[in-house]
Amino acid sequence: MSEAAIRFEKVSKSFGSRTILKELSFEIGKGDSVAILGRSGTGKSVTLKLMIGLLEPDAGDVFVLDRNVADLDASGLSELRREMGFLFQSAALFDSISVGENIAFPMRRQSKVDESEIRDRVEELLRQVKLDGEYDKMPADLSGGMKKRAALARSLALRPSVLLVDEPSAGLDPITSEEIDELLISIGEEDETTIVIVTHNIPSARRICDEMILLDGGLIRARGDLAALEASDDEVVKKFLSSQSGG
């Protein structure tokens, strides 16, 4: 078993009187690709936000790349985030700057990076997400799938060792969604990046990830590859899988 890139130890999180996570514990090994599944509102996005310190646990600890996220000061946290890529559910690009500048943004925030190096890296990323030659386009002039790909390129700009992706295929047609999947697969293979994907799309989860975690009621209901989940006798797992294949 590989060393853990991410470790949750009895993590609890509530909002007001609503408990979302209940002493949730799990590990994701370095270089592994794991999908987090679950019904809407089960805390999938909250789980990702805990990983990058956008939210803090009420109790328990979140370790990422051997650091306890809650123990980090502002500079420690930004140092950790430099090693992480995060693609939000909404895939928001900055509307007032070009696609190329959006992708360059994380690099420009680092000091000591020269202009030609940034330009080369952005061109490389644009090729990688099949947006060659679109440097100067404005986000408003892109389709939904192109925006998603541009946002993915931005999250890859600093070559993250941990990549968190929230619903990469939401709102995309099946072909575009498969293209995003292919990209994530190649990133996982090439760079030994640890990838955590939140998705409602089981075929996509199966293509990209070695393993799936099904969240339910603030806890892990099942974990394993698709075959293991399909072999489960658990009513909740069965119901989840049948609802997915049905619609």
Ligand X SMILES: Nc1ncnc2c1ncn2[C@@H]1O[C@H](COP(=O)(O)OP(=O)(O)OP(=O)(O)O)[C@@H](O)[C@H]1O
* Shortest separation between residue 41's beta carbon and Mg ion, angstroms: 8
Pick from 33, 42, 45, 204: which binds Mg ion (CB under 5 A)? 45
Looking at residue 170, its amino acid is A
The distance from CA 208 to its chain's CA centroid, rounded to whole angstroms, is 12
Of the candidate spans 38-46, 53-61, 75-83, 92-100, the one that interacts with Mg ion by CB under 5 A turns out to be 38-46
**232, interface contact from ligand X, Mg ion, none, CB < 5-8 Å by kind:** none
Count the residues of the shown chain that bind Mg ion, applying the rule CB under 5 A.
Answer: 2
Return the structure tokens found at 151: 């946002």
Does 155 contact Mg ion by CB under 5 A?
no
**Alpha carbons 218 and 216: distance in angstroms, whole number:** 5
**40, interface contact from ligand X, Mg ion, none, CB < 5-8 Å by kind:** ligand X
Q: Sheet of 59-64: strands edge to edge? A: 18-29, 4-15, 59-64, 67-68
User: Would you tell me which residues interact with ligand X (CB under 6 A)?
Assistant: 15, 20, 38, 40-46, 89
Residue 60, CA distances (Å) to 27, 63, 143 in order? 14, 10, 41
Task: Map tokens 């925006």 to a residue.
Answer: 147
Q: Are strands 162-166 and 84-87 parallel, antiparallel or unpaired?
A: parallel
* Shortest separation between residue 46's beta carbon and Mg ion, angstroms: 8
* Shortest separation between residue 20's beta carbon and ligand X, angstroms: 5
* Shortest separation between residue 13's beta carbon and ligand X, angstroms: 8
Interface residues with Mg ion (CB under 5 A)? 44-45
